[in-house]
Amino acid sequence: MMPQTIDTLIEARWVIPIEPKGVTLEHHALAVDGGRIVALLPIEEARSRFSPGKRVSLMQHVLLPGLVNLHTHAAMTLLRGYADDMALMDWLKQRIWPAEARHLSSDFVRDGTLLACAEMLRGGITCFNDMYFYPEAAAQAVHRMGMRAALGMVVVEFPSGYAADAEDYLAKGLAARDALRDEPLISFCMAPHAPYTITDRTFERIATLANQLELPIHIHVHETLTEIDESIRQYGLRPLARLNQLGLLGPGLIAVHAVHLDAGEIDLLALQGCNIAHCPSSNMKLASGIAPVAKLRQQGVRIGLGSDSAASNNRLDLFREMNHAALLAKVSSNDATAVNAHEALAMATLDGAMALGLEERIGSLVAGKAADLCAVRLDDPLLAPCFDPASHLVYVAGREHVSHVWVAGEARVSDGKLLAMDAAELLDTADLWHNRIII
């Protein structure tokens, strides 16, 4: 039998496919053609079965699915370090919202998202779930960098440089979705900012649209105790109870942070099939608290990982989020077995994809899925010796060890170098905005 012609054969020392769970394969190859995974099989078998246009040998590497950043505000990368060491509401009201009032524009969003995409791709992230203004400008950056994104149709009640009121936000978000519906790497979410910035009437409209359009709802919820106290004072309900009453809870809900949950709320999230976007580094930095990840997982709640913005983290780095998520789950539950390495890797890949409704396309190395991939090089004395590659990815290696990244089979990072955009151009863009913002 003649070998099958394919675009690319990637051979690796180790492969962690995520599906099936907890598996690490040795000396396997991934066959890619037309942007999709054709097969995952032992290297010698792959060499006899396939005739690739290009062969990539990664004999000191781990190959795994591209990481999925389940929550960020990409354009806010231009505000990295602008407002550090502040409580959340002071951070928002005294620094972030005033800076956005002065500088928010489509150019700000395009340039900030370019910088964010570069950082994420270099760190093995191939898909991100964004919540910010001017989604069409963000899409320009995503398209240039060749990345996958779920763009939020952001909604708040107050005016900004982007929209006048909730109806205007919704109208502009829906128009962006219509304009970009044929872009293969772009999907959309409804993105109401938080319960404390959205009225009941707007929430009812969002619930209707999400149901009609089959879109996830991406929202900050139960991030701080103050948020909960204010909700009880204003509505007589905790935020999650209010969202449930308004019909927003369900398998399409992506609840960001979800730090302060009681036992009944954990049960409710599990019963409704909701998803959590866990952002451990941001939660620590803003002193929001530690999400009850071990208890949520015990009840079967799906948890993906998010970086939050570079203004509150200050890195768009899912390797650090995996590490922090695993360690915080252990120490907060007094259980060293809570969130093992394979589980943390699933949180950073397939669980995030499932929350976005993209599990048929991305999140694991399964034939038929898009070839969104990253490779991590482990032949560094600082990482030696390696007894378990999965453990190494979560507890030892960092984003600086990511060597190769592909999105839909197209190389986006090679030997640690970003291919879509020159570093000097990115630095010039960052300097331009730094000089504007600092004045």
Could you tell me the CATH number of the domain that includes residue 257? 3.20.20.140
Count of domains forming the chain:
2
| Residue at 45 is within a domain | yes
Q: Which two tokens stand for residue 361?
A: 């396309």
Q: Which two tokens stand for residue 124?
A: 């093995």
CATH code assigned at 39:
2.30.40.10
User: What are residue 323's phi and psi, to 5 degrees?
Assistant: -60, -50
CA distance 133 to 154: 6
Q: Are residues 134 and 183 in the same domain?
A: yes
Q: Are residues 58 and 112 in the same domain?
A: no
**pTM of the entire structure?**
0.98
CA distance 401 to 116: 18
Sign of CA dihedral 85, 87, 90, 92: positive
What is the pairing mode between strands 25-33 and 4-15?
antiparallel
Residues 6+ apart with CB under 8 A from 213: 177
What is the pairing mode between strands 50-65 and 67-72?
unpaired
| Residue at 430 is within a domain | no
Range of the domain at 226: 67-355
**Amino acid at residue number 253:** L
- pLDDT, one tens digit for every residue, the chain (439 residues): 789 999 999 999 999 999 999 999 999 999 999 999 999 999 999 999 999 999 999 999 999 999 999 999 999 999 999 999 988 889 889 999 899 999 999 999 999 999 999 999 999 999 999 999 999 999 999 999 999 999 999 999 999 999 999 999 999 999 999 999 999 999 999 999 999 999 999 999 999 999 999 999 999 999 999 999 999 999 999 999 999 999 999 999 999 999 999 999 999 999 999 999 999 999 999 999 999 999 999 999 999 999 999 999 999 999 999 999 999 999 999 999 999 999 999 999 999 999 999 999 999 999 999 999 999 999 999 999 999 999 999 999 999 999 999 999 999 999 999 999 999 999 999 999 999 998 7
CA distance 82 to 99: 9
Q: Are residues 329 and 249 in the same domain?
A: yes
Q: Are residues 118 and 39 in the same domain?
A: no
Q: Are residues 59 and 75 in the same domain?
A: no
Q: Are residues 16 and 106 in the same domain?
A: no
Question: Per this entry, what is the length of the chain?
Answer: 439
Q: Which helix (H) or strand (E) holds 27?
A: strand 25-33
Question: Angle formed by the axes of helices 106-122 and 423-438, to 10°?
Answer: 130
- Give pLDDT, residue 9: 98
- Give pLDDT, residue 92: 86
Distances from the Cα of 416 to the Cα of 235, 322, 437, angstroms: 51, 20, 30
